[in-house]
């Protein structure tokens, strides 16, 4: 995840930082958790559970507002690349696929996601997974807590992006077949990317020669990537995947 991993790894416990009030906002519930001092992740997770007991643990989203400019910059870079591709002369298939993806991305909300394991049991059992919520003096964070969804979201170079009813053991090809979804000419016909609700990224092969089972959790996003002939779209696909990790919502 490039630029975001560097600061994520730096999130450590430090006894040399000044104590500061910690505020964790829950925007969807219009509530805020306030602490008189720096607090460990495990305690915040307990308090989130008390406020939102019906939350979908796998889909918890922890955001650092101080890093929002980096996400906005990434979106702008992607937007610029997609605009260039959708207007590229004599590339009809690339034009259509780029336009479709651009429309999808502009309809989403993105926040600077902190890629931490938001699992209370893991945090309690492994100290490295239970840091103080403080990064370079930052003392304000956001937690987006959603109920468990009953669908996955399909995006990318397809004719009908959107939410599809989740079915256990269904593979991407099963969803495409059941709903009659057509890959656009500019799509990669054998490769897609899954972003699980916890932000983990999984490559999915769904061609006859590279098919492998990839189980999707409720709330997962599946990104049907642009065809990467001569690697011209490889970096753009990587950037879009990184951006989708920061999409708020299931």
- 61-86 pLDDT tens trace: 999 999 999 999 999 999 999 999 99
For residue 2, pLDDT beyond 80: no
* CA gap 100, 94 in Å, rounded: 10
Can you say whether the dihedral through the CA atoms of 53, 198, 132, 21 is positive or negative?
negative
Closest CA to 50 of 23, 29, 35, 66: 29
Domain ranges of the chain: 3-66+112-144, 69-109+149-245
CA end-to-end span of the chain, whole Å?
20
Quickly count: other Cβ atoms within 10 Å of residue 63's Cβ: 22
Taking only the tens place, the pLDDT of each residue in 4-19 is: 433 343 343 333 334 4
Determine how β-strand 201-205 pairs with β-strand 221-226: unpaired
Structure tokens at 147: 């109920």
What is the CATH code for 3-66+112-144? 3.10.20
CATH topology of domain 69-109+149-245: Outer membrane lipoprotein wza fold like (3.10.560)
Task: Give the global pTM.
Answer: 0.89
Give the per-residue pLDDT at 19.
43
Alpha-carbon distances, residue 239 vs 2, 25, 83, 99, 213 (angstroms): 9, 28, 15, 16, 24
List the Cα angle 152/154/160 in 5-degree steps. Answer: 130
């Amino acid at each position: 995840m490039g630029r975001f991993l560097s600061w994520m790894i730096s999130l450590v416990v430090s006894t040399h930082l000044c104590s500061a009030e910690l505020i964790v906002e829950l925007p969807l519930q219009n509530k805020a958790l306030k602490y008189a001092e720096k607090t460990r992740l495990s305690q915040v997770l307990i308090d989130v559970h008390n406020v939102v007991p019906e939350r979908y643990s796998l889909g918890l989203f922890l955001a650092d507002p101080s890093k929002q400019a980096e996400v906005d910059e990434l979106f702008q870079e992607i937007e610029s690349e997609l605009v260039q591709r959708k207007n590229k002369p004599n590339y009809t298939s690339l034009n259509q696929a780029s336009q479709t993806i651009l429309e999808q991305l502009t309809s989403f909300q993105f926040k600077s996601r902190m890629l931490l394991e938001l699992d209370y049991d893991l945090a309690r059992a492994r100290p490295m997974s239970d840091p103080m919520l403080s990064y370079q003096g930052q003392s304000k964070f956001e937690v987006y807590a959603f109920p468990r969804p009953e669908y996955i979201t399909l995006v990318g170079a397809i004719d009908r992006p959107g939410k599809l009813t989740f079915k256990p053991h269904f593979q991407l090809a099963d969803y495409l077949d059941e709903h009659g979804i057509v890959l656009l000419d500019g799509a990669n016909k054998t490769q897609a990317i899954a972003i699980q609700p916890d932000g983990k990224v999984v490559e999915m092969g769904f061609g006859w020669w590279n098919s492998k089972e990839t189980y999707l959790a409720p709330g997962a996003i599946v990104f049907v990537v642009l065809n990467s002939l001569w690697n011209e779209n490889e970096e753009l696909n990587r950037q879009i995947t990184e951006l989708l990790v920061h999409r708020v919502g299931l």
